[in-house]
Structure 1
């Protein structure tokens, strides 16, 4: 059995980052030393993924590593930030070399694909959980926020919806085919970093769809002080969702299931064509699903029975 320091050195410490990565001192000291680009704002977000809450306890470790990083990078995408660095804390019930090696493979592969450097972290003993802090850069005047939606804007989403929640249902029903399109969307979500960059200067407001479309639209509406009209018949549904669960359930999950990690944006009408063209260059569709209104609340949808994820729902409606 290896100690936490041996696990870090063997599996989690990446190769020394090149100077271009902005890591003056990385894994192995008390702190990482980072060199942000001059004139850029630093965008920082943290997420914790807990076994049995955010991912199945029996999920493949490679997928756990990928997913833990992806859900954090999705926050950078929603801000229009370019990913630069991350920190990762891993809590393990036991020092399982094979599990950690596969976990690290998934984590490092997504780091490389997204141009993000792992700059430090921690390994501890306890119930399985992964904490990831991501850091990115964005020019001061170009950050996308939740507060810029205006009445008359279109509401649009990238990609397709419902696949994350549909994949979780498939897994809970005993499906273990990692090539199933729904399970793939749940266990290996794709953070829309390139889309966030492409939408700079066009989107009025943006948020990533992690807790469910209606729930995250609620956060955007509250921050912007607006209402919304949705057109559920226009929701882009994930591949295989209707075949697996039927159209009615598919639309419920698209509205409230969560775990999609697509971007929901508001767009002034005159910017829609340019936004679609930029995302088309990324082979990513952008679908208008409604519009921003001046009247508080949401119209156009019936109660779905799927309210979006909350850890501590309490009595809040």
Structure 2
């Protein structure tokens, strides 16, 4: 086995050079941040090889996904990033080159999203690669999950289902071969590299009643939002935005439509707003919040209810 960095060398040579000012050069047991005048928003997400990504995915993309899923949570709350803490559990087969590529990807996104590394921990594990990030943000107004009201319009950003279909394509070679290379690559790219909608944070703070990012599937996450708000919802399924690549996959296998709606990993923003609000660019209205405590109702093009086998991805 090639010689590898010691734990102290990992900190000093790999992560300290990409850390932000508050990290104190990663020479202490804690970070030190200036007081934040606005409310502080904190979120944490863990990603695990074999669950959230493939172990042989490019290390830079693994790092970016781990950070971006946390930044997506901040965006949905209307928060601007301050920085993040990284906990990294490395399996037996890690190499210096893998770790350096991981850190390079992390540094690139930390700069792009103005979210510096400010601390963390490294350890060994007999299990799969495990990455936990805690992101910190600030928001003059926290956009809650429980703020939807009857009569509000329901919106989503971007397109839905690409990442779940990208995972399906990676698992099903027959499906992958039937898709065009462009469609296949587009879906896989969305699975590998979500895009946190931080640009929407100011609009959400000013206008959204409720919001959350779509991590476990549109159907299930809308049910969570409605339940938290003590409301119900009606969704017009033909209004749900799908990419051309997703439509191509669904044309090959109609069952993949359910995968797109319930599969998760979109990291788009699901939000509600008053009907008179002018939605931000790229947001599509898909339904309405209604009074009641029934699960959301999903209607097809003929206004017939559609029942899904499962509402969302679940770890357990």
Report if TM-score (shorter chain) is over 0.5: yes
Counterpart of 2:17? Answer: 14
Note the alpha carbon deviations across 1:45-92, whole angstroms, 9 max, x for none.
111111111111221111110101111111101100001110001111
1:112-151 to structure 2, matched below 5 A, reads: 112-126=111-125, 127=127, 128-139=129-140, 142-151=141-150
Counterpart of 2:233? Answer: 228
Counterpart of 1:257? Answer: 263
Cα pair 1:14 1:118 within 8 Å, conserved: no
Are 1:155 and 2:158 an aligned pair?
no
CA distance in 1, matches of 2:105, 2:96: 14
Of 204, 212, 216, the residue aligned with 1:199 is: 204
CA distance in 2, matches of 1:26, 1:251: 48
Of 181, 185, 193, the residue aligned with 1:188 is: 193
* Structure 1, gaps ≥5 residues long: 313-317
CA distance in 2, matches of 1:56, 1:239: 25
Note the alpha carbon deviations across 1:240-269, whole angstroms, 9 max, x for none.
112134273443133201000000001101
CA distance in 2, matches of 1:97, 1:244: 38
Q: TM-score, normalised by structure 2?
A: 0.88
Counterpart of 2:302? Answer: none
Q: TM-score, normalised by structure 1?
A: 0.88
Q: Mark the CA change 1:37 to 1:160 in structure 2 (over 3 Å): closer, same or farther.
A: same
The 3-state SS of whatever aligns with 2:207 is: coil
The number of equivalent residue pairs is 296
CA distance in 2, matches of 1:295, 1:231: 18
Cα pair 2:250 2:257 within 8 Å, conserved: no
The 3-state SS of whatever aligns with 2:26 is: coil
Of 290, 293, 298, the residue aligned with 1:293 is: 290
The 3-state SS of whatever aligns with 1:307 is: coil
CA distance in 1, matches of 2:212, 2:20: 30
Cα pair 2:78 2:139 within 8 Å, conserved: yes
